[in-house]
Structure 1
Amino acid sequence: MSSGIHETKDESRQDDVVEKAPSVDVLHSEVLGNKDAMNEAIHAENREHAEGMLAAVKAHPMACIWAFIMCFTIVMESFDMFLNGNFVAQSAFQRKYGVLVNKAKDEYAIPTKWQSALFQSGQCGAFVGVFLAGPVTNLLGYRWTTILALMLMNATIFISFFADSLAVLTVGQTLEGIPWGFFIANSPAYASEVVPLVLRGATTATLQMSWSIGGIIVAAATYGYNKRDDEWAWRVPLALQWIFPTPLLILIFLAPESPWWLVRKGRKEEALRSIRRLASGKTKEHSEQALAMMERTVEIELAQGGTPTLLDLLKGTDLRRTLITCFMYASQNFAGNLIANQATFFFEQAGINPNRAFQLNLINSCLGFIANALSWPLTAWFGRRTIYLWGTATNVMFLMILGICASVEQNSATNYAQAVLGIIISFVFAGTLGPITYTAIAETSSIRLRALSTAVGRAAYYVAEIPMIYLASKLLNPTGWNLAGKCGYVWGGTAIVCWIIAYVFLPEMKHRSYREIDILFQRRIPARKFKSTVIDVKDNE
């Protein structure tokens, strides 16, 4: 309570200073060369630092809503990822496209090569999409790029729905992956740019919640149709993909463009209107100060380089930022996440009967949603680095226990123990590593290179994921190595490597403005000293 009172007093003092300051035409002035404009930018940044989370939500309700809507586009990628994981465990799908593996029990399985193809095809398409997303977004903005991707999504679903072979289904998934690349490249960048500093962690964390929502819908649909023995067991879940693109397209058409993108393009009047739409209660003076703050940061970055290109990601301090972004994205594949993506199939291989496996998958998806919600206060209480390191260490422990549990003599108790451990690992990932990754990558990249940086970072995710999906399928498939829970040893080992890299290279960026982050990287501050380094509010380099 007392903290809130102090914040209110601080804001009142800042407002008094602002009202006494000379009027500045922020639409027609360069901030770095104008003392009064610099004061406006400083006041705006101080106000963001002083603002508490609850106060920020009350002051920027529409910014939170638009950020969530943009993040919700990720539900389509998660829907398809979880859908393929459920198809390979579906008896009707197995009999239609699989091979006989147990004649006595009349059991079928999808061959490892096709199972991997289904999992990898969408990611291959998304790999193309993320590289297209950066240049297109720089040209058209976040809104129109996402609208075009949603239109493409609507069209490509037809191929998957009408597919009559694994080959055609794989082609359909590949083409669907292209718009996924646009969604995942743009969503964290847009969400981080439309909300104030204190809300960046919570809003970008909703990306993981969108993954969970997609998983819940898939789990419910496939559980409901699992007992069917005809083609509609998988065609109806495929058709459910059409629920999302058109409503999202309409909503995003109505959304404001990121004011940061508009400032980068020199469209200050539109940026000012966007700022006012994102914070309906913000006064004219506060809106103009926010614009000056954005212009100040953009001018600092422009002084370091001109028109952004992919090569800029590999130059100077931006190389370090690019490597951190790529690592954070790629590491999602190495700490148990692939168990969550193939949960139903994992449960079956752990010895759970198919119907109960689908039930457990639904429970797993719902718990993931709860974990995502719990990540919001976590991002307010703890730093990004702290959450990542502790979340990874926790999953290392549970993954190793999973491996041990699968190594002893198997019975019903050990089967369920493996299933429960798989759910716990997914829960930890959904509450820590998953959401904090999106927050970290959105904050690491510079404003000037953000669209390109998030795209390349996601490309690194797919470069890591495509071979790991094959490995995950090989680890679990009866036609592969059939290791069940022993895969915990593999993912536990890779998670240890991720923890070590993060400890050395992942900086703490909580409570840092984009200007401060730029300066910290420019000064080449070591990752472990980011939190303690003091940046003066008047510093520009």
Structure 2
Amino acid sequence: MEWFGRKRTFAACVILTAGLVFIQFFARSLNVLLAGELLAGLVLGQFVVIAPAYASEVCPTAVRGHLTAYVNLCFVMGQLLGNGVTAGTQTLNTHWAYSIPFALQWFWCAIIIPGMFFVPESPWWLVRKGRMEDAEASLRRLASSKVNVAASLAFIVETDRLELELEAGSTYMDCFRKVNLRRTEISIGVYCAQVLSGIYLINYGTYFFQQAGLPTDQAFNMAVAVGFVGTVISWGLMVRVGRRTLFNWGLAMLTFLQLLIGVLDCIRDRPSGAIWAESVLMLVWNFFYDISIGPICFVLLAECSATRVRSKSIAIATAAQKFGAACVPRTIQPADRWTVMTVAIPYLENPTQANIQGKLGFFFGGLAALCLVWSYFRVPETMGRTYEELDLLFDNNVPARKFKGYQLEGAISSANNEEEGLTKSA
């Protein structure tokens, strides 16, 4: 992204995705299908990095949280669409059962690729490359005629100058140096909190509903629908209560619900009422996840990293999150069917004995509690702050709990006017 820009990198990834779909579509053996999936996964991982970085650089402060949180909603909508398509093809007894779902990816590529010609490049990236005229042209495309583009450009230039003065750097190693180390820690922490709080345990909820008599597909659709509603509600909450408050209260609720699921699973002989209660609690957990740490994570990823290393910080956090995901159960099923992605939770490795079911709530509840303690002391409030203000707050080593009310001196006075103008044009 730093070499070719957000726009070109994103377009290249979409084109590569369209090409790799051919491997998946024409695969007639597991080896070929696996190869296609692995190659596609390498490209798809780029979208997770590009999306929040680009969104945070082309929108005003007032709507920055909404657009970056939209990444989580896209995940939810993708799950819903994917489940709907596979539900319609799963009864087929030929290769079309999986070829059709893969082929539908070309539909999105056909829409996105032409649309890239109308997408402006990130003005922040253009400024870092010294392309001031292109940056100004990009800002004019992003804002209405009423916005003072010169002031907006001056704000970006000054923020970039400040980060150079603060030695923010622009390499992967710079993400772990000086003030950037704290910012990278926050990015990694908020992303890994998704895994550590038990997001993959939700897959087990479909098993509970199945035991209670509800088809697995319906259970999955219910979970996705709840997640969709939760993410939309989070847009309103994040601008009223703030990122930090919503993230911490969300973690507190997730901790409580995980522990409660574990307690219910300890009931002797597990009556049907307990099974239904656990299933409902998992839906409630999913709701609070998608109303708090699910979408807010992507907001904090974009806002806590310095602009010069934002793409690299998000990439590092994404890699850490995926590594964490590889160390917990990805798909939890009855004892003879569940799988473990790698070596974590050793006692779950015996498929004939380790049927601990909802008692995993104790494990993830404990991890979520640790995440809550960490976030209380480390995750700052970034709502309403410009990138220059955030740079100064981190450089002054302001404690996370004092970010919200901290008064700064020396920030660009016109920044607020510039942001307000962009907001009105949005």
CA deviation map 1:253-274 (0-9, x unaligned): 3101111111111111111111
Would you say 1:368 and 2:232 are equivalent positions?
no
Per-residue deviation, 1:150: 0.7
Q: Cα 1:513–1:306, aligned 2, differ >3 Å: closer, same or farther?
A: closer
Q: Distance in 2 between matches of 1:152 and 1:189?
A: 20
Structure 1: which amino acid aligns with 2:225? Answer: C
CA deviation map 1:299-352 (0-9, x unaligned): 111223386211111111111111111111111111231134x3xx64135543
Per-residue deviation, 1:280: 2.1
Would you say 1:423 and 2:287 are equivalent positions?
no
Deviates more, 1:203-212 or 1:240-249: 240-249
Q: Cα 1:466–1:476, aligned 2, differ >3 Å: closer, same or farther?
A: farther
* Partner secondary structure for residue 270 of structure 2: coil
Give the equivalent residue in structure 2 for 1:293: 155
Structure 2: which amino acid aligns with 1:154? Answer: A
Structure 1: which amino acid aligns with 2:390? Answer: I
Per-residue deviation, 1:443: 0.5
Of 117, 122, 146 in structure 2, the residue corresponding to residue 282 of structure 1 is 146
Q: Distance in 2 between matches of 1:534 and 1:424?
A: 38
Would you say 1:221 and 2:85 are equivalent positions?
yes
Task: Check whether the contact 2:168–2:306 (CA below 8 A) recurs between aligned residues.
Answer: no
Task: Check whether the contact 2:210–2:216 (CA below 8 A) recurs between aligned residues.
Answer: no
Give the equivalent residue in structure 2 for 1:439: 299
Q: Cα 1:166–1:396, aligned 2, differ >3 Å: closer, same or farther?
A: farther
Task: Check whether the contact 2:169–2:309 (CA below 8 A) recurs between aligned residues.
Answer: no
Give the equivalent residue in structure 2 for 1:162: 26
TM-score normalized by the length of structure 2: 0.87
Give the equivalent residue in structure 2 for 1:312: 174
Give the equivalent residue in structure 1 for 2:393: 520
Give the equivalent residue in structure 2 for 1:495: 368
Structure 1: which amino acid aligns with 2:311? Answer: A
Q: Distance in 2 between matches of 1:291 and 1:246?
A: 33
* Partner secondary structure for residue 308 of structure 2: coil
Question: When the two structures are aligned, how many residues end up with a matched partner?
Answer: 397
Structure 1: which amino acid aligns with 2:395? Answer: Q
Deviates more, 1:205-214 or 1:306-315: 306-315
Q: Distance in 2 between matches of 1:257 and 1:152?
A: 20
Identical aligned pairs, as a percentage? 33
Q: Distance in 2 between matches of 1:349 and 1:154?
A: 37
Deviates more, 1:165-174 or 1:420-429: 165-174
Would you say 1:322 and 2:184 are equivalent positions?
yes
Q: Distance in 2 between matches of 1:406 and 1:323?
A: 35
Would you say 1:337 and 2:199 are equivalent positions?
yes
Would you say 1:138 and 2:2 are equivalent positions?
yes
Q: Cα 1:165–1:496, aligned 2, differ >3 Å: closer, same or farther?
A: farther
Larger radius of gyration: 1
Q: Distance in 1 between matches of 2:311 and 2:334?
A: 36
TM-score normalized by the length of structure 1: 0.69
Of 315, 336, 340 in structure 2, the residue corresponding to residue 478 of structure 1 is 336
Q: Distance in 2 between matches of 1:176 and 1:209?
A: 21
CA deviation map 1:201-228 (0-9, x unaligned): 1111101110111011022223333444
Per-residue deviation, 1:358: 0.4
Of 93, 112, 123 in structure 2, the residue corresponding to residue 259 of structure 1 is 123
Task: Check whether the contact 1:276–1:282 (CA below 8 A) recurs between aligned residues.
Answer: no
Q: Cα 1:440–1:280, aligned 2, differ >3 Å: closer, same or farther?
A: same
Deviates more, 1:159-168 or 1:325-334: 159-168
Q: Distance in 2 between matches of 1:525 and 1:240?
A: 49
Q: Distance in 2 between matches of 1:463 and 1:288?
A: 43
Per-residue deviation, 1:477: 5.0
Give the equivalent residue in structure 2 for 1:43: none
Task: Check whether the contact 2:155–2:412 (CA below 8 A) recurs between aligned residues.
Answer: no
Task: Check whether the contact 2:208–2:278 (CA below 8 A) recurs between aligned residues.
Answer: no
Task: Check whether the contact 2:209–2:219 (CA below 8 A) recurs between aligned residues.
Answer: no
Structure 2: which amino acid aligns with 1:168? Answer: V
Per-residue deviation, 1:151: 1.0
Per-residue deviation, 1:475: 6.8
Q: Cα 1:227–1:424, aligned 2, differ >3 Å: closer, same or farther?
A: farther
Would you say 1:391 and 2:247 are equivalent positions?
no
Give the equivalent residue in structure 2 for 1:249: 113
* Partner secondary structure for residue 410 of structure 1: coil
Task: Check whether the contact 1:350–1:484 (CA below 8 A) recurs between aligned residues.
Answer: no
Give the equivalent residue in structure 1 for 2:313: 453
Structure 2: which amino acid aligns with 1:514? Answer: Y
Q: Distance in 2 between matches of 1:226 and 1:346?
A: 21
Structure 1: which amino acid aligns with 2:257? Answer: F
